[in-house]
Amino acid sequence: MLGERIRKLRKQKKLTLEALAGEKLTKGMLSLIENDKAQPSMESLAYIAERLNVEVAELLGNANASELRNVMVQAEQLINIDHEEDPNKYKKIIKLIEPFIDKVTKSYESARLLELYSYALYYEKIDGWQTLLQRAADIFDELNVSSSRTKIAVFRSSIKFVEHRYEEALDVFLKERKAVEEQHFYIDPLSLLELDYHESVLYFAVGNSEPALNVMERAITLSKEKRIFYLIDDLYRLAAVHAMDDGNKEKQNYYLMKLKKYGEFADHEPSIHFYHLINLMMLISEEKQYTKALELIEEYLEEKMVHYETWLSAEKGKALYYLGRYDEAFAVLEQVKVPEYLHHPYDLAMFYILESFKGLIQLVLGNNEAALSYAKKGVQLFETLPESAYKRFSIVTLEKIKKEF
């Protein structure tokens, strides 16, 4: 009870009723408050808190700022641990934050704890996270913390995105972005970049390239103007892959060179590795230098291109197929699995197409039934993805194999 907390704090600080009452309260009124026979006004409560040298939140039974901040720091450390390193990290976050959920105030620390707690509930498949996340969003809106509110917007759309429900993900995102822009009179450049990047990603995911390109170019321009390199590597990668699928060699080379220069400047290995990967893919699909491609793949695997080892194996299977080494090619492709963290159609297409290659291999080996099965699977996988060169290849492959029956 409020009165009990005030009395306890007064005695801890060795103050008499008269000393705490001071000039603004009477001893009798303070006694009534401590015995929960009278409710102080917010002005009186603030006065008592000041005299006791505590926050009003502490008197009300809420956690104080330093306590919440300490819990937030611990939760931040947990959320940043790789899930493979600690599979129980979300359970730990729930256990850590749960005692404070009913004590949160309208502070940044409170909102962040609600946010992290909501994420943990979501990943543990526990109901109630939506309401708590909305509380966090409301506090961030009131405090005008656009960066944190932006992350919630991205998270909400990502839920549909990882389920490959791209149209719904875009719809959620656009509504969230509108809400952020309406609630925040100032949005920092980093948050603007994040909003533009994810909007572009989602437009590409639904096959709507015109607005995707417009938003992407806007983000790249903002990055250059503000000299902010946040997400610039992802934007260059996205632009290069789109140009490759669109058959625009000039744009593809332009963005790849930009990515390479960024990688060298920032000493960012994934960017440099991606540059090499795309060139390798072109070596196979356009230049048809399969032997050279195989040599490069072995070289890259020895160099431990950890970010793209699975991609390299996929390209190895293709190169072996084109060299007529069918059994080897099939064995390699059978070992390639789609990484669980991939959800964008551009990425998925690079792996879904492997089913078509397996079908072609089985066709050459005389296993027509198996060939048809793999080809059909390839086309089925592409059903929810937008139009692309890969998707067209899968359809052509199926038609080719059907003619053998």
Rounded CA gap, 66 and 105, in Å? 12
Domain ranges of the chain: 2-59, 337-405
Ranges of residues in the chain whose predicted pLDDT is under 50: none
Give, in order, the Cα–Cα distances in Å from 164 to each of 75, 187, 206, 213, 237: 29, 29, 10, 21, 20
CA angle 113, 117, 119 (to 5 degrees): 120
Q: How far is CA 73 from the centre of its chain?
A: 20
What homologous superfamily does CATH list for 2-59? lambda repressor-like DNA-binding domains (1.10.260.40)
- Give the span between the Cα atoms of 156 and 163, in whole angstroms: 12
CA-wise closest residue to 382 among 353, 360, 341, 343: 353
Residue 224, judged by CB atoms within 10 A of its CB (0-12, 13-18, 19+), counts as exposed
pLDDT of residue 106: 81
Burial label for 291, CB within 10 Å (0-12, 13-18, 19+), is exposed
Q: CA–CA separation, 41 vs 34, rounded Å?
A: 14
SS3 103: helix
Taken in order 117, 119, 123, 127, is the CA torsion positive or negative?
A: positive
Cβ(68)–Cβ(113) below 8 Å: yes
Termini Cα distance of the chain: 82
Confirm if 226 and 189 have CB atoms less than 8 A apart.
yes
Classify residue 122 as left (phi > 0), alpha (psi -120 to 50) or beta: alpha
The pLDDT assigned to 166 comes to 97
What digits encode the pLDDT tens for the residues 14-23?
A: 889 988 888 8
- Between the alpha carbon of residue 291 and those of residues 311, 317, 361, 390, the distances in Å are 17, 12, 18, 23
By 3-state DSSP, what share of the chain in percent is helix, strand and coil, each rounded to 5? 75, 0, 25
Please compute, for residue 54, the number of CA atoms within 13 A of its CA located in the half-sphere on the CB side: 22
Alpha-carbon gap, residue 33 to 18, rounded angstroms: 13
> Quick check: helix, strand or coil at residue 133?
helix
Cβ-based neighbours of 403, under 8 Å, separated by 6 or more: none
Give phi and psi for 365, each to the nearest 5: -80, -5
Specify the long-range contacts of residues 266-274, CB closer than 8 Å, at least 24 apart. Answer: 266/229, 266/233, 268/233, 269/307, 270/233, 270/307, 271/233, 271/236, 271/237, 273/300, 273/305, 273/307, 273/308, 274/237, 274/307, 274/308
